[in-house]
Chain A
Amino acid sequence: MQCPKCRAPMHTYNRNGVQIEQCSGCRGIFLDYGELESLTRLESQWQQPAPPPPAAPAAPQAYPSAPAPAWGAPHGGHGGHYGHKRHKKSFGHMLFSS
């Protein structure tokens, strides 16, 4: 099959069970009837189980979904206080104070 635009030969590729033709010259793609819809459907299936957006890099969390109030610290917050010596001392005091 020849490219309808530049007349270069077109090659057939299989993408997840959908046959698509791509021109070896201009790289244009030819889709048969219904193939665009098949690709769209495949794309949406691919996106559904996609991993959630990565957590803030500063605070890797085992429980990323702990609900918080609207006035809570921005995601991540000072979370890693135990790692900082000064934080640890000051927060440690707070943990034991009335």
Chain B
Amino acid sequence: MTVDVLPGLTAKVRAAVHPGAGACACGTDTSVLADRADGTVVRHADTVAKAHAPGTDVGELAARVAVAAHPALDGVLLAPLVSSAAELHGRLVTFWPYGTPVDPETPEAAPWEEAATLLARLHRTPEAVLPSGLPPMRGPAKAARAVARLRAAGPHPAAGPVLRAWSVLPAWARNEAPMEHAQALCHGDLHLGQLVRDPGGAWLLIDIDDLGLGEPAWDLARPAAWFACGLLPPEEWTRFLTAYQKAEGPALPADTDPWPALDVPARALTVQTGALAIAKAMAAGRALDEVQLAVIDACDRMAAHPPELAPGFPT
């Protein structure tokens, strides 16, 4: 049933760069930026084409692309080249300008302040600019999917602490109840691979597949989880946190302890990271490494400390 979309996608991205031309004459290669179950991304010259995950809802994707194309989000989200999606072997395809990513070899050079400021601006987006039909952000859905993948992978000694930590989270964080308590525009899957520089050097957020309405603290929860697991140095976490507060991000109080707001999302992201680490290690026949074990240890410690409840958070 699954068709390799790579050849067709390569042809599409070349045609987008050279409309009307029979063959590519620019002399540049097409590179594959990602080829995973949740999306295939290819680049030709300054254009990127993405084949979204099989089963992606056409209306939901259109609403998300419309947000990225809206002038109110200029300078926050990378805007698409074309506002409607094409189709290829049943997959939806969108086109984007190429942006330079964070160098994975030097994560210590990550633009923490810029990332935090972009998120604060995203979260402050007025409701009036959002298209009707914009779905919820998919953070809790992704966490639930990671836990399902862990359950399907079979028994593993580290699975217990991860599943126990998951079981005490409130229903909304497990994607079992709607996120009605918060309706901010959220990215839904923030990590360092979701930032690119435009030709002018300005940082922008990319990847709108999980974008939608919901709890904005979710977008801060991956760095928060890395810090809490003892992996991200406190100075880098503090740079990110204070930049978000300085930019008046609505997910956190301006000058008090951020953890009542961060606790549940950071737990969920820790569980998600641990669940995927175990599932992938099992599939590859590998043991967990020290960094992954630090995440499992954090899940283990959660059992002794029930989730904090921020004011207004449902249980």
Contact = CB atoms under 8 A, between A and B. Distances in A.
A48 interface: no
Given A64-B234, A71-B267, A94 B273 contact: yes
A96 B294 contact: no
Given A80-B233, A81-B231, A98 B302 contact: no
* Chain B, interface residues (CB within 8 Å), range: 35 or more
Given A87-B290, A94-B226, A95-B110, A73 B298 contact: yes
Interface string B273-315: 1001000000000000111101001100110110010000000
A70 interface: yes
Given A62-B235, A90-B290, A95-B110, A73 B228 contact: yes
A23 to B, nearest CB: 52
B298 A72 contact: yes
B263 A73 contact: no
B126 interface: no
Interface in A84-98: 86-88, 90-98
Given A73-B229, A91-B107, A78 B192 contact: no
B108 interface: yes
B228 A69 contact: yes
A61 interface: yes
Contacts of A66: 227, 234, 237-238, 241
Given A78-B294, A82-B108, A98-B142, A68 B227 contact: yes
Contact of A71 (B107, B235, B238, B301): B301
A90 B104 CA distance: 11
Interface in B247-268: 257-259, 262-263, 266-267
A73 B297 contact: yes
Interface string B136-160: 0000001000000000000000000
Nearest to B295: A94
A28 interface: no
A66 B259 CA distance: 10
A77 B259 contact: no
A70 B228 CA distance: 9
B230 A74 contact: yes
Interface in B79-127: 102, 104-105, 107-108, 110
| Residue of A69, A70, A80, A96 ringed by the most chain B CB atoms within 10 A | A69
Interface of B: 38, 102, 104-105, 107-108, 110, 142, 189, 191-193, 226-231, 233-235, 237-238, 241, 257-259, 262-263, 266-267, 273, 276, 289-292, 294, 297-298, 301-302, 304-305, 308
8 contacts: A66-B227, A70-B304, A70-B308, A72-B228, A73-B229, A90-B291, A92-B104, A96-B191
Given A72-B230, A94-B273, A96-B102, 9 more contacts: A67-B259, A72-B301, A77-B294, A79-B233, A81-B233, A92-B107, A95-B107, A96-B107, A97-B191
